[in-house]
Amino acid sequence: MRSLLVINPNTSSSVSGLLQHHLQHALAQGVAVQALTARFGAAYINSEASYAVAQHAVLDAWAVALSRDARPDAVLIGCFGDPGLFALREGAGVPVSGLAEAAFAAAARHGRFAIVTGGERWRPMLERLACALGQDCALAGIHTVAPSGADLAADPERARKLLTRACLDAAHRFGADALVLGGAALAGMAADIAPSVPLPLIDSVQAGAEWAGQVLQRAQPASAPEPGSGSFGVAWHNTSWEMTALR
């Protein structure tokens, strides 16, 4: 059986449960999905500082998985913003992606795309990520709404109305060919909103599931790591014992 490790870089176990549910449902029965929640950091990532801490938390979660002899066949970072993506990809030795990277790639197949997401301070972070991923030319614009993804998930009915208006506004303003509804906490909402939106609407969690399904179909089963082994080439100091073992 193939295995997918989903790392939730924030400390909200409810988001991990939501990701586990949607991803396991979307993937084939031959894929085991395990969601790990960050052991430290912010309950919701909504600023540069919380994003920076989340990058450390992602590496720590990876180290925890290896310490449990649970080396996966692929890793998906369960945050629309992909903290720690490049660092984890550098040394994990298995395919690694994130909700934003997967959603950008899915949307770019339609042409230029715009993003709709919760949290006003996400705009510069997502612009920077799109540039780092080589998607800046495909990105038509970003429409953020004031409530965070967690706030939106807490009131789904209000969220659907607000996000529908935001998607319609983004479609009109940016002249995009597709829209991305970004956010782990917004998993499943795109399906409800899509009939009211005149453009293809990409659910970032569904895009992550599609990426995982494709790479797991091609991947060879991961071998168990030797005790104390790692491939990051760093001697860690004053980190968790699990990270120290990854030097």
Residues 105-148 have pLDDT tens digits of: 999 999 999 999 999 999 999 999 999 999 999 999 999 998 88
- The full set of domain ranges for the chain reads 2-98+209-244, 100-203
Q: Give the residue among 208, 247, 229 at the shortest CA–CA distance from 4.
A: 208
Note the pLDDT of residue 126: 98
What is d(CA 110, CA 198) in angstroms, rounded to the nearest whole number?
13
The DSSP call for residue 186 is: G
Q: Kindly report each contact of residues 38-43 with a partner whose C-beta sits within 8 Å and lies 24 or more positions away, as own/partner.
A: 38/7, 38/8, 38/9, 38/10, 38/11, 39/11, 39/64, 39/240, 40/11, 41/9, 41/10, 41/11, 42/10, 42/11, 43/10, 43/11, 43/12, 43/150
Note the pLDDT of residue 76: 98
Note the pLDDT of residue 222: 52
For residue 102, give both structure tokens. 């997967």
Note the pLDDT of residue 124: 96
The DSSP call for residue 95 is: -
Question: How many CB atoms lie under 10 A from the CB of residue 55?
Answer: 19
Quick check: 28 and 213 in contact, CB under 8 A? yes
- Listed as ranges, residues in the chain with pLDDT below 50 are 225-230
| 100-203 has the same fold as 2-98+209-244 | yes
The CATH code of domain 2-98+209-244 reads: 3.40.50.12500
Note the pLDDT of residue 137: 97
For residue 25, give both structure tokens. 């449902």
Coil/strand/helix, residue 12: coil
Phi, psi at 35, each rounded to 5° = -105, 130
**What's at 247, amino acid-wise?**
R
The CATH code of domain 100-203 reads: 3.40.50.12500
Quick check: 65 and 5 in contact, CB under 8 A? yes
Quick check: 96 and 88 in contact, CB under 8 A? yes
What's the length of the chain? 247
What is d(CA 235, CA 56) in angstroms, rounded to the nearest whole number?
15
Note the pLDDT of residue 226: 46
Note the pLDDT of residue 150: 82
Question: How many CB atoms lie under 10 A from the CB of residue 29?
Answer: 7
Q: Give the residue among 74, 137, 72, 76 at the shortest CA–CA distance from 101.
A: 76
Note the pLDDT of residue 229: 42
Q: What is the DSSP string of 191-230?
A: HHHGGG-SS-EEEHHHHHHHHHHHHHHHPPPPPPPPTT--
Q: Give the residue among 97, 151, 144, 149 at the shortest CA–CA distance from 125.
A: 144
